[in-house]
Amino acid sequence: MLDLAQIRTMDKTQDENRQGEAYLHGDTGMQTHARKFYIESYGCQMNFSDSEIVASILQESGFSSTPSYSEADLVLINTCSIREKAEQTVRNRLHIFRQQKKAKPGMLIGILGCMAERLKEKLIEEEKLVDLVIGPDAYRTLPGLIEEAQSGQKAVNTLLSREETYADISPVRLGGNGVTAFVSIMRGCNNMCSFCVVPFTRGRERSRDANSILKECRDLFENGYREVTLLGQNVDSYNWADENNNELLSFSGLLEKCAQTDPSLRIRFSTSHPKDITDDVLRVMRKYDNICKNIHLPVQSGSTRILQLMNRTYTREWYIAKINRIRELIPECGISSDIISGFCTETDEDHAETLSLMEYAGYDMSYMFFYSERPGTLAARRFRDDVKEDVKKRRLEEIVHLQNKLSKISNRQDIGKQFSVLIEGDSKKSQAYWMGRNSQNKVVVFPKEGQSLKPGEYAIVRIENCTGATLIGTLSIQDLKGN
């Protein structure tokens, strides 16, 4: 997670996006002696979750891990296509890997995820940067594709599926803290936002078997994890029925069942499309203390005209009404957002409406970026990207500046309050402090003070001070149940 005055931006540093994995053993067609395998992940939380699925699939075929690509026989990079800069970052990494391959000719390089799906054979044939190309729905075929690539064949599978959810696969938790984990509940997206490439790279929505989700949550809890984040491109559209249609489960029903796993297991979820987060979901959130009071509710723009061009299916006034409803039912709920500056035809007046909506919503934090046209999207086909880049960047700077202000205001309002904080580990700045998050997803640090606490435990912390990014407190009591 990025930390810019409690603002999350779409551009993450390589170190924050990178996770190394795995050793290869056994008869995969490569060689019979131990081999090493490594993954880097970029982009959204779904990509990091997918990397854990890939690691599990490879582990079943005899793989384990190395944290260094220079030691690896197989290097995989899980990619994001949401912005041109994200794709360029991946290309730069691939060139570095190709240089390493010159010193180690037997090394295989593979690309996974959205960029693989979008560019397909171009990376393997025209640019010759990779040996394998695997789309988000083809991870089960990876062991066979490795064999093909090892024999010198083109190894490509980017077929999208209407059924694949990887429901039967237990992810290998990569580089985590042993306290928090992602649980994927659905894949794909049916929302055709005009700026977004996801429907074309991840396919249509499919909901994962609820029984497998609940089992994964229980297994995580039994293995010491105390927080799970339910993931999907649009979690609120989750809608699952068993094979006999005996049980129909919406997202609110799934959320409640997950919360019932154990009172000490916190439940988060991301991401919510404003049109789909219902009163039923809000009431379930209010009912259970262990469902975190935080909603990521992307707005993208505060201008109704721009929202219509984006095909967001709601107006400025409708979104404001949704914010009001959240505040009415869950007054303490933290709200975060996604915001795009400089979408096609955006005027200074449209931009001003975005700033005023931010002020009204009082976001705790936001992902903020300027518009980057993605080939194949509806916007690329229908509209001209006519806002100059310097204007986009100026508007983005104003959005960032305002979010800095809003984050500080939000944090200052918490001074004097007490929160249940799930301890995740040492503070980045000092091992004399614990770091965790409260229900509203705010980072909290507090001195260890000789207490016998450890990661995975809850503590009641009184907030004494803050920065724009962090709440600073002192320990009140240990909270055994996280309430």
Four-point Cα dihedral 270, 273, 275, 278, nearest 10: 0
| Percent of the chain residues topping a pLDDT of 90 | 70
Q: Where is pLDDT greater, at 114 or 338?
A: 338
The reported pLDDT for the residue numbered 482 is: 67
Cα angle 137-141-142, degrees, rounded to a multiple of 5: 100
Q: Is 73 left (phi over 0), alpha (psi -120 to 50) or beta?
A: alpha
**What top-level class would CATH report for the domain 180-408?**
alpha beta
Local confidence band at 242 (pLDDT 50, 70, 90 cut-offs)? confident
Q: Where is pLDDT greater, at 38 or 105?
A: 38
Mean pLDDT (the chain) is 88
Lookup: tokens for 40: 């880097």
Residue pLDDT, tens place only, 4-57: 333 333 333 333 333 333 333 333 333 434 678 899 998 888 889 999 999 999
- In the chain, list all ranges with CATH 3.80.30.20: 180-408
pTM of the predicted model as reported, rounded to 2 decimal places = 0.87
The reported pLDDT for the residue numbered 123 is: 78
Indicate the SS3 state at residue 315. coil
Of the candidates 336, 328, 250, the one whose C-alpha atom is nearest the C-alpha of residue 282 is 328
Residue 87 has pLDDT above 80, yes or no: yes
Residue 84 has pLDDT above 80, yes or no: no
Residue pLDDT, tens place only, 395-407: 999 999 999 999 9
Lookup: tokens for 128: 């010759």
The reported pLDDT for the residue numbered 62 is: 79
Lookup: tokens for 21: 């994995």
Q: 418-479 maps to which CATH number? A: 2.40.50.140
Residue 292 has pLDDT above 60, yes or no: yes
Residue pLDDT, tens place only, 274-284: 999 999 999 99
- In the chain, list all ranges with CATH 3.40.50.12160: 14-157
- In the chain, list all ranges with CATH 2.40.50.140: 418-479
**What top-level class would CATH report for the domain 14-157?**
alpha beta
Residue 85 has pLDDT above 90, yes or no: no
The reported pLDDT for the residue numbered 116 is: 83
The reported pLDDT for the residue numbered 111 is: 93
Contacts for 283-288 with beta carbons within 8 Å, 24 or more apart? 283/252, 283/329, 284/252, 284/255, 284/256, 284/259, 285/255, 285/330, 285/333, 286/329, 286/330, 287/256, 288/256, 288/259, 288/260
Q: How far apart are CA 170 and CA 53, in angstroms?
A: 7
Q: How far apart are CA 50 and CA 226, in angstroms?
A: 21
Element (DSSP H or E) covering residue 335? strand 334-341
The reported pLDDT for the residue numbered 42 is: 87
* Lowest mean pLDDT segment, chosen from 55-64, 117-126, 281-290: 117-126
Residue pLDDT, tens place only, 63-74: 777 888 988 889
Residue pLDDT, tens place only, 158-186: 988 999 999 999 898 887 889 999 999 99
For 434-451, what is the mean pLDDT?
94
